[in-house]
Amino acid sequence: MLTNEIAKKANVHPNTVRLYEKWGYISPVSRKQNGYRIYTEIHLKQMYIARLAFNQEFIQNNLRKMATNIVQLSGQGNFKESRKAALTYLQFLQSEYDYAKKAIQISTNIMQSNTSSPLIFTHKMVANHLQLTEETIRNWERNGLFKVNRDTQNRRQYKEEDVQKLLIIRTLRSAHFSLTSILHLFQEIEALEHGADIHTLLNTPKFKNEFYHVTDELELNLKQAMKDVCSIIDILDQLQT
């Protein structure tokens, strides 16, 4: 296949094909004596893998790094390791999907009840529970997204409602809300509902509209991303036979 032919089959611009070769997303391409590139079916499958990996616009940061790793391993012809990376990525996407569903369920439960648990959690326990780094949570606190009480030894003490709010922040961040956007959302609600706690926050129309819109969209994107990764795994299986 010539450049225009593989570009048409992969549904991309010919320049994209050349860029994918430059970036190592497809294997090195041989040329005819006249300099024309000659692509194989393997190149086409590698193109499909790259297109599927970057299909979702919400894929950023760690997700993009994981997707890029799959594509680069495929471009190196290391299809076995690429498949392993795809399975790891699929598990990560499933975990993110589960957290989004959990955030929705918890939010719904809070709206329907004003009861709270007397349990206290440490900073490390919360980080492990939410699969976040401790520094990420400290950064959210420094940026004013939440406040947490401390004991006499200045150690953070998280109540259940603190963990619930962090889960909500986590979900908004997964949907690529910036820290500033989340802060402004909380500030707007608190200005309307002075001293708003987690129950008041979740029951305000503005929050409901914002939160359920982004979580619905996040769920759909994660579902499609998981479907795309399954397609990548199928292609990689074909490449190993």
Strand-strand pairing, 120-121 and 149-150: unpaired
Q: pLDDT for 30-83, tens place per residue?
A: 988 888 889 999 999 999 999 999 887 655 557 788 999 999 999 999 999 999
Q: pLDDT for 199-241, tens place per residue?
A: 666 666 666 677 767 777 778 888 899 999 999 999 999 998 7
Q: Residue 122 and residue 214: Cα distance in Å, rounded?
A: 29
Which has more pLDDT, 103 or 22?
22
Name every residue whose Cβ is closer than 8 Å to that of residue 216 and which is 6 or more positions away in sequence.
none
Per-position DSSP letters for 42-99, written without gaps between them: HHHHHHHHHHHHT--TT--HHHHHHHHHHHHHHHTT-HHHHHHHHHHHHHHHHHHHHH
pLDDT band at 170 (very low <50, low <70, confident <90, very high): confident
What integer pLDDT is reported at residue 199 of this predicted model?
A: 61
Burial 119-136 (b: 16+ CB within 10 A, else e): eebebeebbeebebeeee
Identify whether 20 is part of a domain: no
Residue 114 scores a pLDDT above 60: no
Identify whether 100 is part of a domain: yes
Identify whether 12 is part of a domain: no
Q: pLDDT for 115-141, tens place per residue?
A: 556 778 899 999 988 888 999 999 999
Give residue 236's domain range.
59-241
> Phi/psi zone of residue 214: left (φ > 0), alpha (ψ -120 to 50 degrees), beta?
alpha
Total structural domains within the chain:
1
Taking the mean position of all CA atoms in its chain, how far away is CA 90?
A: 11
SS3 33: coil
What integer pLDDT is reported at residue 118 of this predicted model?
A: 73
Identify whether 51 is part of a domain: no
Identify whether 47 is part of a domain: no
Q: Residue 37 and residue 34: Cα distance in Å, rounded?
A: 9
Closest CA to 46 of 71, 82, 16, 81: 71
Identify whether 64 is part of a domain: yes
Q: Facing residues of 121 across strands? A: 158
Identify whether 33 is part of a domain: no
| In contact, 89 and 229? CB cutoff 8 Å | yes
What integer pLDDT is reported at residue 202 of this predicted model?
A: 61
Mean pLDDT of 145-161: 88
> Two tokens at 227?
């479907």
Closest CA to 18 of 34, 32, 29, 8: 29
Which of 14-18, 116-120, 126-130, 152-156 bottoms out in mean pLDDT, i.e. has the lowest? 116-120
CATH number of the domain at 189, please: 1.10.1660.10
Per-position DSSP letters for 170-236, written without gaps between them: HHHHHTT--HHHHHHHHHHHHHHSTT--HHHHHHSHHHHHHHHHHHHHHHHHHHHHHHHHHHHHHHH
Identify whether 19 is part of a domain: no
Compute the mean pLDDT over every residue in the chain, rounded to the nearest whole number.
84
| In contact, 168 and 210? CB cutoff 8 Å | no
What integer pLDDT is reported at residue 72 of this predicted model?
A: 96
What integer pLDDT is reported at residue 112 of this predicted model?
A: 55
Other CB atoms within 10 A of residue 53 CB: 27
